Chain A
Amino acid sequence: MTMKRSKWGALAAVGVLVMAFGWLIYGGLDSNVVYFLTPKELAAKGVEGMDKPVRLGGQVKPGSVVWDEKALDLRFTVTDGTSEIAVHSKGAPPQMFKDGQGVVIEGRYGKDSVFKSTSLMVKHSNEYKAPEKGERPSEMYKSLMKSSGS
């Protein structure tokens, strides 16, 4: 009898813990943790979203990339299809950075409407494709190795 009661007690305790834990995870994470803002969301925040550390995510607008190799100065535009934000970054971008690529940028959105990047990350897709004819993935590989070795 006592054995039975302790078993049910233990199960009830686990049940309560599980529910508390689940509530923490769902209630807490879901509303608070937004890993990055889209250009539209950041722009909608107006002055409130400016001059504080945020992450901005979207695609590199094709044709917008201006890269000064000598000054290691990179300017491009991030778009979510509806809004766009100009980004200014120092240093060489990751090797997979290119037109149309998904990116997440850490930094601050300045009063001059330029997003100053402190860290530029490339988001890659979940697809794996063999290279098409004419593409040279082996060179990509070499340059990747070089950059990650530095």
Chain B
Amino acid sequence: MSRNDTTQFGPPRPAPAWLGWGALLFFLFTQVYAVVTSPADAMMGHLQKILYVHVPSAWVTFAAFGVVLVASIHFLWKEDERADLLAAASAEVGAMFCGLTLIQGMLWGRPTWGVWWSWDARLTSTLVLFLIFVGYLALRSFVEDPHRRGQWSAAVGILGAINVPIVWMSVRWWRTLHQIQSDPREVAPVFLRGWLLNVAAFSLIAVWFIWKRYEAARYERAAEHAAQAAALGGNNG
């Protein structure tokens, strides 16, 4: 049994409701703002609007998997169960946004590139990233012992997170169909404002999601410990 199981930390700090509502309202505002204030792009017309969900989704994916990396290393090092639960919450949110990024990209690719999908390095590496974290979540549900589950999933989480810089650099390391990252200087200010505002809004939503999932995971884990203690007959440890 781990030395620092969550029973000794008391209840988690609840995610404040104002953060959730604030993130939602801010997101609605930034979406409307971005769409209303930006003209059609010179090349692709109003299809450019997909930028306002695709790029923020990708950014949130990378950030969430970054949290998985740090929390997983922290768990292996300190054996603090809370880090394992934070990694799990972030992996879940990251996987969801990664899936969204892929779908939005396909919807964008069909009318601009002419194809839904192509096996270039950016698309392939993003799909691999998504599948690794789907695997991560599956692994967690297969392993019964919480401590072993934490160790195994931390290893997978670290391996998965290593893919993030590979996905990011893929458009520069290899020839791809996907264009390279847009430098803010190459994006007209009229598009840039809505873009950055939406990155902020998506980030807030992700923080809310992760916090909420982490809170739930803490209670689940407390119940797990209680059940274990009951099975052992009374006193825990």
Q: Are B159 and A35 in contact (CB under 8 A)?
A: no
Q: Are B179 and A144 in contact (CB under 8 A)?
A: no
From A13, A34, A135, A141, B175 is in contact (CB under 8 Å) with A34
Q: Are A141 and B47 in contact (CB under 8 A)?
A: yes
A58 CA / B159 CA spacing, docked (Å): 35
Q: What are the residues of chain A within 8 A of B166 when measuring CB–CB?
A: 25
A113-145, CB < 8 A from B = 119-132, 135, 137-138, 140-141, 144-145
A57 CA / B120 CA spacing, docked (Å): 12
Q: Are A140 and B44 in contact (CB under 8 A)?
A: yes
Q: Are B177 and A123 in contact (CB under 8 A)?
A: yes
Q: B190 near A: Cβ within 8 Å?
A: yes
Q: A17 near B: Cβ within 8 Å?
A: yes
Q: Are A128 and B181 in contact (CB under 8 A)?
A: no
Q: A95 near B: Cβ within 8 Å?
A: yes
From A3, A17, A33, A119, B155 is in contact (CB under 8 Å) with A17
Q: What are the residues of chain B within 8 A of A33 when measuring CB–CB?
A: 121, 174
From A10, A30, A121, A141, B45 is in contact (CB under 8 Å) with A141
Q: Are A141 and B121 in contact (CB under 8 A)?
A: no
Produce 1/0 per residue, B149-182, CB < 8 A to A.
Answer: 0010011001100100010000001111101111
Q: A81 near B: Cβ within 8 Å?
A: no
A130 CA / B110 CA spacing, docked (Å): 22
Q: How far is the CB of B157 from chain A (nearest CB, A)?
A: 10
Query: Known contacts A7-B79, A13-B155, A17-B155: does B114 contact A94 (CB below 8 Å)?
Result: yes
Query: Known contacts A10-B76, A126-B179, A127-B187: does B47 contact A144 (CB below 8 Å)?
Result: yes
A22 CA / B163 CA spacing, docked (Å): 9
Q: What are the residues of chain B within 8 A of A147 when measuring CB–CB?
A: 111
Q: What are the residues of chain A within 8 A of B177 when measuring CB–CB?
A: 35, 104, 121, 123
Q: A67 near B: Cβ within 8 Å?
A: no
From B114, B179, B181, A120 is in contact (CB under 8 Å) with B114
From B111, B159, B182, A17 is in contact (CB under 8 Å) with B159
Q: What are the residues of chain A within 8 A of B179 when measuring CB–CB?
A: 123-126
Query: Known contacts A95-B111, A121-B114, A124-B112: does B42 contact A135 (CB below 8 Å)?
Result: yes
Q: A148 near B: Cβ within 8 Å?
A: yes
Query: Known contacts A121-B114, A122-B113: does B121 contact A29 (CB below 8 Å)?
Result: yes
A140 CA / B47 CA spacing, docked (Å): 10
Q: A66 near B: Cβ within 8 Å?
A: no
Produce 1/0 per residue, B54-88, CB < 8 A to A.
Answer: 00000000000000000000001101000000000
Identify the A interface with B (CB < 8 A): 3, 7, 10-11, 13-14, 17-18, 21-22, 25, 29-30, 33-36, 57, 93-97, 104, 119-132, 135, 137-138, 140-141, 144-145, 147-148
